[in-house]
């Protein structure tokens, strides 16, 4: 089991190391994604700027936390 997790961590680090230069490229392939991510971030900034967006985020986080807590009981 340790070998599998060590291999996974090594593979993730390798992918992150190789993805750095590709993500920094300003070529034509990066242009559509830049506008998409800018619009995506602007939308979610506007949602969380409102009080109801913050309340929904906290309720969602609480639901995820309760799911994790209740599903971890089988390990005991």
For residue 8 the two structure tokens come to 């996974």
Do the domain assignments include residue 74?
A: yes
Do the domain assignments include residue 16?
A: no
Model confidence at 63: pLDDT above 90: yes
Do the domain assignments include residue 22?
A: no
Alpha-carbon separation of residue 50 from 41, 64, 68 (angstroms): 15, 22, 28
Do the domain assignments include residue 6?
A: no
Do the domain assignments include residue 12?
A: no
CA dist., res. 34 & res. 30, Å (int):
6
Local structure of residue 76 (DSSP, 8 states): -
Number of domains in the chain: 1
Q: What is the pLDDT of residue 64?
A: 93
Do the domain assignments include residue 36?
A: yes
Question: Residue 54 in contact with residue 48, Cβ under 8 Å?
Answer: yes
Q: Is the model more confident about 44 or about 61?
A: 61
Question: What pTM was estimated for this model as a whole?
Answer: 0.38
CA dist., res. 3 & res. 9, Å (int):
10
């Amino acid at each position: 089991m340790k070998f599998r997790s060590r291999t996974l961590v090594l593979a993730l680090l390798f992918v992150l190391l190789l993805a750095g230069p590709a993500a920094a490229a300003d070529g034509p392939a990066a242009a559509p994604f830049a506008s998409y991510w800018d619009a995506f971030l602007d939308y979610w900034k506007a949602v969380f700027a409102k009080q109801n967006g913050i309340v929904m985020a906290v309720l969602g986080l609480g639901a995820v936390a309760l799911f994790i807590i209740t599903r971890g009981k089988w390990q005991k």
